[in-house]
Amino acid sequence: MKILALNWRDITHPRAGGAEVNVHEILKRLSKQNHKVTLFCGYYKGAKRHENIDGVEIIRYGNIMTVYLWAFILYTFKLRKENYDIIFESISGTPWMSMIYSRKPRVAMIYHIVGEIYFKEIFFPIALIAIFVESYVMPLFYKNENVLAISESSKEEFYSMGFRNINIIPMGISKNLKPNTNAKNKNIPIIVHHGRLMNYKRIDILIRLMKEIVRKYKDAQLYIFGRGEAERELKRLTKELKLEKNIKFFGFVSENKKLELLQKSWIFVTPSYKEGWGIVVLEANACGVPAISFDVPGLRDSILNNKTGYLVNSENEMLEKILVLIKDKKLRDKMSKEAYKWSRNFSWDNTADRTLEIMKKAIQTDKQLK
């Protein structure tokens, strides 16, 4: 099978996030199964235009604004000749609309509906246009396409917008993530947050809660690792609250460093406004770390409330649950075991196999219609 994947970034991009990890983990497994896989994505300074990573041929053109236009140009004048069997669209907000220039069958993985989050991340006029495209244009063109959702929350949202052919394919996690109880400092509570540092993640809430946590546990630590547009403001807030000794920013970390930091941690906390799923939650769980988040779409799918962590409805409740888990080691250990057990249900092999299954069905259906 020849597969053309479209994603606005690749795994090496400085702003790569969960979507890029998901796409790469799927594609490299399909490549190992002797499928020819090409990924078209945006270019960034210092990158190669053409590169092969883990068996995936990567083509980079355009930036965040022009990458969709470049996809049209390159497909029309070059990639069409490759005669791909299927197009795999990875949509993080803006749809690729490949049905306009290609009659090939397609599968579209939509992570979540961005909606109001646009107003938190980009300027008003552009945000308004993005919401219009996502809310009205995308459902019109994709309502009968093969859509992949990564959580039940996302599926329900897509269905309410008019999408009909929806399959849930949860994201996986690395097999290398595992607990190490010997890595934890028994006397110093360590809270962790990792992922993209974006405004809608609302990490500022967690930093403000640390002020209260430190009043009860003066040595408590908050580890924040990841990179993003909100990093400078989060560091400014940390300094303003005089929490430099208690909050450490690690920036981008390697997989080995991520494992080390998660294994040291007691609790994972994310105050995010909304997610498509919660891959960072499951990665923490795999290291035996229970998680706390607001009861919002995506995260309510990845946390089993009162079992692998807590879903809360206010900042005060979030603070309360953090303090409960810090204080009660027996409860923390119990949730740690449940979190690890829950994480074992997810693997990249299963994610790739399910995606391939849907692709094959889409190709077969297309042949029957013709």
User: What is the spatial distance between Cα 279 and Cα 270, in angstroms, rounded to a whole number?
Assistant: 12
| pLDDT at 114 (0 to 100) | 65
Q: In the β-sheet with 36-41, what is the strand arrangement from edge to edge?
A: 50-53, 56-60, 36-41, 2-6, 86-91, 106-110, 146-149, 166-168
Residue 89: count of CB within 10 angstroms of its CB: 24
Strands (E) across the chain are located at: 2-6, 36-41, 50-53, 56-60, 86-91, 106-110, 146-149, 166-168, 190-194, 221-225, 247-251, 267-270, 291-294, 309-312
- Extract the tokens encoding 305: 């409330």
Please report, rounded to a whole number, the percentage of residues in the chain having pLDDT higher than 90: 73
> Is the per-residue pLDDT at 127 higher than 80?
no
> Is the per-residue pLDDT at 137 higher than 90?
no
CA distances for 252 relative to 31, 200, 256, angstroms? 27, 19, 12
> Is the per-residue pLDDT at 107 higher than 80?
yes
Residues 6 or more apart in contact with residue 139 via CB below 8 angstroms? 161, 162, 163
Helix, strand, coil percentages for the chain (3-state, nearest 5): 45, 20, 35
Residue 91, helix vs strand vs coil: strand
Residue 212: count of CB within 10 angstroms of its CB: 13
| Mean pLDDT computed over 231-250 | 95
- The pTM (predicted TM-score) of the whole model is 0.87
| pLDDT at 89 (0 to 100) | 97
User: What is the spatial distance between Cα 367 and Cα 370, in angstroms, rounded to a whole number?
Assistant: 5
User: What is the spatial distance between Cα 269 and Cα 323, in angstroms, rounded to a whole number?
Assistant: 12
| pLDDT at 337 (0 to 100) | 96
> Is the per-residue pLDDT at 124 higher than 80?
no
The dihedral built from the CA positions of residue 269, 8, 120 and 134, taken in this order, carries a sign that is negative
pLDDT interval class at 115 (50, 70, 90): low
| Mean pLDDT computed over 153-169 | 90
Average pLDDT along the chain: 92
| Domain boundaries for CATH 3.40.50.2000 within the chain | 2-172+348-369, 181-343
User: What is the spatial distance between Cα 67 and Cα 94, in angstroms, rounded to a whole number?
Assistant: 11
Contact call for residues 269 and 205 (beta carbons, < 8 A): no
> Is the per-residue pLDDT at 300 higher than 60?
yes
Digit-coded pLDDT (tens) for 308-352: 999 999 999 999 999 999 999 999 999 999 999 999 999 999 999
Give the range among 64-73, 128-137, 215-224 with minimum mean pLDDT: 128-137
| pLDDT at 16 (0 to 100) | 86
Residue 223, helix vs strand vs coil: strand
| Mean pLDDT computed over 298-312 | 96
Cα 85 vs. chain centroid, distance in angstroms? 27
User: What CATH number does the domain located at 181-343 have?
Assistant: 3.40.50.2000
| Mean pLDDT computed over 267-273 | 94
Contact call for residues 220 and 269 (beta carbons, < 8 A): no
pLDDT interval class at 65 (50, 70, 90): confident
pLDDT interval class at 119 (50, 70, 90): low
| pLDDT at 212 (0 to 100) | 95
Residues 6 or more apart in contact with residue 338 via CB below 8 angstroms? 290, 304, 307, 308
Per CATH, domain 2-172+348-369 is 3.40.50.2000: yes
What residues form DSSP beta bridges with 76? none
> Is the per-residue pLDDT at 166 higher than 90?
yes
**Which residue is it, tokens 């947050």?**
193
| Mean pLDDT computed over 199-205 | 93
Exposure string of 345-368, with b = 16+ CB inside 10 Å and e = fewer, is ebbbeebbebbbebbeebbeebee
Contact call for residues 43 and 9 (beta carbons, < 8 A): no
| pLDDT at 123 (0 to 100) | 55
> Is the per-residue pLDDT at 258 higher than 80?
yes
Exposure string of 260-287, with b = 16+ CB inside 10 Å and e = fewer, is ebbbbbbbbbbbbbbbbbbbbbbbbbbb
Contact call for residues 285 and 291 (beta carbons, < 8 A): yes
- Extract the tokens encoding 299: 């995260």
Let me know how long the chain is. Answer: 370
| pLDDT at 120 (0 to 100) | 57
Question: Which has the closest alpha carbon to 339: 281, 296, 254, 256?
Answer: 281
User: What is the spatial distance between Cα 7 and Cα 318, in angstroms, rounded to a whole number?
Assistant: 35
Which runs of consecutive H residues, i.e. helices, occur in 242-347?
255-264, 279-286, 299-302, 315-327, 329-343
| Mean pLDDT computed over 111-127 | 64
| pLDDT at 227 (0 to 100) | 87
User: HSE (CB half, 13 Å, CA atoms) of 155?
Assistant: 13
